[in-house]
Structures are given as structure tokens and as C-alpha cells.
């Protein structure tokens, strides 16, 4: 692997979650790789028939489950069984033996290096073999190009099927939007920066789930319009009650064209960073406390007072910092009209940011994905694993009130 091998980044408080994601990823990788290997083997001998025209090489269920022991704990594998009725020159029955999971394999070596490498490096024939060799703790796996191609196609089809699924039965109360940038090594220099547009939603039951993962262009209005329009065409007719995102997104111009009733909430983490960059270093610590006093205020009235105090303190000497804050005043304070129990979820884009934190930390070392399709596939696979561990919203019983338009003042439900 050499110096490009990314280390697993263990973020504070999420070690167990990341371990589970890695274990799930390894299980899926091995299962899909062996499935592709078996399909290739059967296809290779598809024309070989017995006297009655029956195939000599066919699938025959699965072998008993087996556990591969790893530093992350046991990874349970269910391997397809191949019924090969052919005989060799010595009259001995030919048996299929997986090159990926030979019968004697019981223990891996450094599986925790595998998933970051696979997801962020892109999947080519050589890289995939190396990734499997790391997982299995042996020489590079003897994988044919057709086996790798089949596996890539499986992942591509999974992403395409998910991206075209019906949304007629879906209703999202809150959505979070972001644009995640990656380097694409195998593209021309002018197209090497890929922006993946991602939407996460909270259902009426409080479950967070990924809504859309799409190839965008510089987070433009048209790119977001394409994403949102596609969601509506697939059945997501009702807009969310509140959308949360960075103020720089073209998302905000596209949103009212598709879902005009959805209210807007600017992310306080992004806004704080944007304001502080317009201040000298000597002023940033005190300014950060001033900004925090706004969004941490118990009531909207107190927040507006703190807002005005900040503007008065910095407008004269640092107008750019003040203007950056003022232009999104109403959108920054929208969360006060929603349940206080949900504020921790809707004041920022942290639900998306935390999901991609490990991806962003590894991207530099891995020098980007190989292609745009590999990058999309990587993001999709990562999200499918990660969302199993996303925390539900607090006070899910209040979500129905939000949908019905029940009024909340300073986060408290107002009696009808």
C-alpha cells in the first residue's frame, strides 16, 4: 500500500460505529466479490453440457456460513455453492475453489485498512486485487478482469436502482443539503474536481436517511434544480417543512422553484466560519462568543438582541463580517419556530457533515477517486453503511405537529 494507504480515522465518540461500518463493509465486499467470481466461473463454462443438454456447471445454493476472524471481530460470510459435474483427465471430479476465500482461510490481517482504500481510491483491477489482499492477509488475489468488472457493475446497478427508486410513499419533515467535493484523478484537469450533491431527510417517524446522491457542477442552481425536480417526478410531491444548508449553495435558488413552501434555515457552523474569516485573528475569539450567544439564546427575542449587539460591535470596523451575518438574518433564526427538542438537529448541517468527516479526512492521503462513477459509487456505498447508525430525532411525537402546521413559539408548542 505504501505511503498512500489511509489510516482509519477514529472520530471522538464514534469508534464503535466506525468499527461496525468497517465490518459491514468488509462483509458486503467479500460477499459481492465471491458472487461475482462464481458468476464469472459459471459463465465461462456455460456451453459445457451433458448428453441430455443440461449444464455441467451450475449454482447449488450456499455453503454453510463461516466466520473470518479479523482485528474488528468476526465477519460472517455466506459463500455460493457451485455444482461442477465435470471430470478431469484422471477421472477426478473437478471442484470450484474460490481464489478470494479459499477453504483454509480463517483469519485476516489488517482489514481496517481495506474500506477506506476501496472507497476512496476507486476500483480498478489492480487496486481491487490489492484491497482484497489486504483484507485476506495473503498475496494479491488472483482476480480476473471479468470478475472485477462484474463487481463494479453490481455496485453501479445498486446506485442506479437507488437513484431511480419511487418516492411516492416518502414524506420528509426536515432535509439537510450539502455539496461534497472530491478530486477525480482520471479526469482531465478542468473536470478533476467533482461535487457530489447530497440530501439527507428526516422522516415523519424521526428516522434520518439519505434522499439523494448526485453528480453536480460547482453546487450550481441548475444542478440542484435537476436533483430536486427528479425527486418530485419520482413521487416526492410534498416539500419538507424546513431545509438546512450552507448559504453558498445554489440549492437556495432552486428550492422555491420546486418546493415553494419549504422554509429555509442557514447552517450556523458554516455562517460562523464565514463571518470569522472576514475578521482579523485578534478579533475572532471574542466574535465567536458573540455569534454563539445568538444561536444559543433561549428565545428568538434574546437572539435578535444578541444579533443587533454583534452588528453594532463590528459593523463600523469590519463591515464585510457584519454584512455576511445580516444578509441571512431571518434564515438563521428560523429554527425558533420549530420544536426546541429538534434545535440541535436543525441549526446546522452536522448530520451530513459528520457523515462525510472521515471521507474528507482520508481524501488527501488517497489522492482522490479514480473516476466520477467510482466517486459516486463510493459515496453511495459509504452512506448506505453509515445511515444504519444515524441517530433518530429527539421527541419524534412532535414531528406530526410540525407536518400539521401546529405553531411553535421559541420552540414551545402553542395551544390551539
Q: What is the pTM (predicted TM-score) of this model? A: 0.69
d(CA 297, CA 305): 10
d(CA 294, CA 325): 11
284 or 22: which carries more pLDDT confidence? Answer: 284
What per-residue confidence (pLDDT) applies to 148? 61
Confidence of residue 102 (pLDDT cuts 50, 70, 90): low
pLDDT at 265 exceeding the cut of 70: yes
* Greatest mean pLDDT range, 77-86, 150-159, 237-246: 237-246
* Greatest mean pLDDT range, 15-24, 125-134, 196-205, 382-391: 196-205
Q: Per-residue pLDDT averaged across 212-240, rounded?
A: 90
Backbone angles phi, psi at 178, to 5 degrees: -160, 160
What per-residue confidence (pLDDT) applies to 118? 47
pLDDT at 228 exceeding the cut of 80: yes
Sheet architecture: strand order including 242-245: 208-216, 193-203, 172-183, 242-245, 263-266
With a CB cutoff of 8 Å and minimum separation 6, the contacts of 92 are: none
295 or 111: which carries more pLDDT confidence? Answer: 295
Q: What percent of the chain has pLDDT over 90?
A: 42
Provide the pairing of β-strand 66-70 with 73-77. antiparallel
d(CA 118, CA 384): 15
d(CA 313, CA 316): 8
Per the listing, cell 489492480 goes with: 126
Q: Which of 199, 307, 205 is nearest to 245 (CA)?
A: 199
Q: Are 147 and 36 in contact (CB under 8 A)?
A: yes
Q: Which of 287, 303, 286, 242 is nearest to 267 (CA)?
A: 242
pLDDT at 153 exceeding the cut of 50: yes
DSSP state of 50: -
Helix (H, G, I), strand (E, B) or coil at 96: coil
* Greatest mean pLDDT range, 5-19, 56-70, 125-139, 159-173: 159-173
pLDDT at 4 exceeding the cut of 50: no
b/e code 165-188 from CB counts within 10 Å (16+ = b): eebeebbbbbbbbbbbebbbbebe
pLDDT at 365 exceeding the cut of 50: no
pLDDT at 121 exceeding the cut of 80: no
Per the listing, cell 417517524 goes with: 205
Q: Per-residue pLDDT averaged across 373-402, rounded?
A: 82
Q: Per-residue pLDDT averaged across 206-235, rounded?
A: 90
d(CA 371, CA 390): 28
Q: Per-residue pLDDT averaged across 112-133, rounded?
A: 47
Q: Per-residue pLDDT averaged across 204-232, rounded?
A: 89
* Per-residue model confidence as pLDDT tens digits over 172-207: 999 999 887 765 544 444 554 567 899 999 999 999
345 or 378: which carries more pLDDT confidence? Answer: 345
Q: Per-residue pLDDT averaged across 233-259, rounded?
A: 93
- Exposed, middle or buried, 145 (CB in 10 Å: 0-12/13-18/19+)? exposed
Alpha-helical runs (H) found in 238-299: 251-258, 268-276, 281-295
User: Which residues face 409 on adjacent strands?
Assistant: 412
d(CA 187, CA 154): 23
* Per-residue model confidence as pLDDT tens digits over 25-73: 667 777 777 888 888 888 888 888 888 888 988 988 888 887 776 555 6
Q: Per-residue pLDDT averaged across 216-236, rounded?
A: 89
Confidence of residue 327 (pLDDT cuts 50, 70, 90): very high
Q: Are 182 and 369 in contact (CB under 8 A)?
A: yes
pLDDT at 381 exceeding the cut of 90: no
Q: Per-residue pLDDT averaged across 317-334, rounded?
A: 96
Confidence of residue 283 (pLDDT cuts 50, 70, 90): very high
Percentages helix, strand, coil for the chain (3-state, rounded to 5) are: 50, 15, 35
pLDDT at 24 exceeding the cut of 90: no
For the beta carbon of residue 236, count every other beta carbon within 10 angstroms: 24
CA distances from 154 to 35, 43, 161, 257, 380 (A): 10, 16, 10, 35, 13
Angle at 21 between CA 17 and CA 24, to 5 degrees: 135
Amino acid at each position: 500500500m505504501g505511503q498512500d494507504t489511509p489510516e482509519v480515522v477514529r472520530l471522538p465518540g464514534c469508534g464503535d460505529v466506525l468499527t461496525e461500518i468497517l465490518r459491514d463493509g468488509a462483509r458486503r465486499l467479500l460477499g459481492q466479490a465471491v458472487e461475482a467470481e462464481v458468476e464469472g466461473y459459471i459463465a465461462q463454462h456455460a456451453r459445457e453440457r451433458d448428453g441430455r443438454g443440461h449444464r455441467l456447471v451450475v449454482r447449488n445454493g450456499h455453503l454453510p456460513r463461516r466466520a473470518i476472524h479479523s482485528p474488528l471481530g468476526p465477519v460472517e460470510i455466506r459463500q455460493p455453492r457451485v455444482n461442477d459435474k465435470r471430470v478431469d483427465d484422471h477421472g477426478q471430479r473437478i471442484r470450484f475453489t474460490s481464489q478470494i476465500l479459499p477453504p483454509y482461510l480463517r483469519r485476516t490481517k489488517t482489514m481496517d485498512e481495506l474500506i477506506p482504500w476501496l472507497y476512496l481510491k476507486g476500483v480498478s483491477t489492480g487496486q481491487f486485487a490489492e484491497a482484497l489482499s489486504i483484507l485476506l492477509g495473503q498475496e494479491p488475489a488472483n482476480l480476473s478482469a471479468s470478475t472485477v468488472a462484474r463487481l463494479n457493475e453490481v455496485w453501479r446497478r445498486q446506485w442506479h436502482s437507488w437513484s431511480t427508486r419511487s418516492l411516492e410513499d416518502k414524506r420528509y419533515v426536515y432535509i439537510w443539503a450539502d455539496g461534497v467535493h472530491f478530486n477525480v484523478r482520471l479526469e482531465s484537469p478542468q473536470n478533476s474536481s467533482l461535487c457530489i450533491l447530497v440530501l439527507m431527510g428526516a422522516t415523519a417517524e424521526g428516522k434520518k436517511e439519505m434522499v439523494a446522491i448526485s453528480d453536480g457542477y460547482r453546487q450550481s442552481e441548475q444542478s440542484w434544480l435537476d436533483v430536486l425536480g427528479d425527486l418530485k417526478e419520482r413521487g416526492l410531491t410534498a416539500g419538507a417543512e424546513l431545509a438546512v444548508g450552507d448559504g453558498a449553495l445554489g440549492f437556495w435558488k432552486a428550492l422555491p422553484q420546486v418546493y415553494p413552501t419549504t422554509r429555509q434555515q442557514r447552517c450556523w457552523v458554516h455562517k460562523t466560519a464565514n463571518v470569522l474569516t472576514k475578521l482579523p485573528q485578534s478579533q475572532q475569539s471574542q466574535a465567536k462568543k458573540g455569534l454563539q450567544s445568538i444561536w444559543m439564546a433561549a428565545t428568538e427575542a434574546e437572539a435578535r438582541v444578541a444579533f443587533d449587539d454583534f452588528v453594532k460591535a463590528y459593523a463600523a470596523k469590519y463591515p464585510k463580517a457584519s454584512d455576511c451575518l445580516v444578509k441571512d438574518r431571518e434564515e438563521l433564526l428560523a429554527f425558533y419556530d420549530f420544536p426546541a427538542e429538534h434545535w440541535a438537529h436543525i441549526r446546522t448541517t452536522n448530520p451530513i457533515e459528520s457523515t462525510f468527516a472521515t471521507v474528507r479526512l482520508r481524501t488527501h492521503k488517497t489522492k482522490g477517486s479514480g473516476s466520477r462513477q467510482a466517486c459516486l459509487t463510493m459515496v453511495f456505498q459509504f452512506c448506505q453503511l453509515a445511515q444504519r447508525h444515524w441517530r433518530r430525532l429527539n421527541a419524534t411525537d412532535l414531528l406530526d405537529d410540525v407536518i400539521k402546521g401546529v405553531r411553535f413559539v421559541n420552540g414551545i408548542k402553542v395551544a390551539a
